[in-house]
Amino acid sequence: MKYVNLGKTGLKVSRLCLGCMSYGSSKWRPWVLDEEAAQPFFRRAVEAGINFFDTADMYSLGVSEEVTGRALRQYAKLDEVVIATKVFNPMSQGPNMGGLSRKHVVQGCEASLKRLGVETIDLYQIHRMDPHTPIEETLEALDLLVRQGKVRYLGASSCEAWKFSKALSLSERNGWARFVSMQNHYNLVYREEEREMLPLCEEEGIGVIPWSPLARGLLAGSRKSLDDKQATTRAGSDAFATTLYDSPHDWDVVEAVKKVAADKGHSAAEVSLAWLLSKPAVVAPIIGATKMDHLEAALRALDVKLTPDEVKALEAPYQPHAVRGF
């Protein structure tokens, strides 16, 4: 396994991050693995040297954090791994059970600590920006958690680049703990982040940890068409995916990936991840795995090297998209 710094921090993370939304309760989403079925993935990830694990409070409404915490206590040394979780999405119908108010941020962190079974969260991320809470209130609350020792580093997720830039500036001006990472929507099918967010992150030393690196499985090459919903359980039940990938040009990208993969003797997933790993701002794609080969393919991708001509062939079919994923 290869390890790199998360942005300009001294924190070392593996070049792959295991996304734990897939582990928790199948009652929440039909494709989610229950605890017993999830355990082999944590064990294999740790054996392979992955030390970076990402979950969120809203995944399986807290059960993902519980499963992740128990698995890492069993298979890893907690001092050696980096546990990331997120706050923002509603955890119940109560008026203060979502968003980024001081109340919810602090209470959300305390609840996540209990579910994970740890004293400190390594990377605490805002899952989205909250249009109903002043960003100053959110940043001050996050800084409080760092000073209290409940959180070590702060991260953000998909948002407009100008809002992220404003947050970084406010933190600097007020002496608050600053965001060190950006978890954004970025893959071969969706590259709008290259316009503003990625240059901003490179300039500011922010580590990029993309979600949906295989475009909800589209870039894994298992589907027969853009509309094929039968390839996997998730493809047939993930309504969010249909809001992200619905352009006919998206399939042109998939076909380009398949061709390069066939010529190189690698899988489409390996080539797609190798492309993402080659981007300077990208620290660790967040990979989801509900079959062991998903995880093994991601591990193999670490050793796939693309030539300039192959990169050009992969990128050529891309057409601009409307902004998606915020």
Active-site residues, by number, are 59
Q: Which residues of 42-67 are buried (b: 16+ CB within 10 A; e: fewer)?
A: bebbbebebbbbbbbbbbbbbbbbbb
Tell me the C-alpha distance between 284 and 202, whole Å: 14
Q: Coil, helix or strand for 87?
A: strand
Tell me the C-alpha distance between 257 and 320, whole Å: 18
Tell me the C-alpha distance between 126 and 129, whole Å: 7
Beta-strand relationship, 17-19 and 12-14 = unpaired
Q: Which residues of 267-303 are buried (b: 16+ CB within 10 A; e: fewer)?
A: bbbbbbbbbbbebebbbbbbbbbbeeebbbbbbbbbe
- Cβ-based burial of 260 (10 A; exposed 0-12, middle 13-18, buried ≥19): buried
Alpha carbon of 96 to those of 9, 59, 91, 99: distances in Å? 33, 18, 9, 7
Q: Which residues contact 218 (CB under 8 A, 6 or more apart)?
A: 189, 226, 241, 245, 250, 254
φ/ψ of 160, rounded to 5, equals -70, 145
DSSP 30: T
- Cβ-based burial of 106 (10 A; exposed 0-12, middle 13-18, buried ≥19): middle
Cβ–Cβ under 8 Å, residues 275 and 186: no
DSSP 206: P
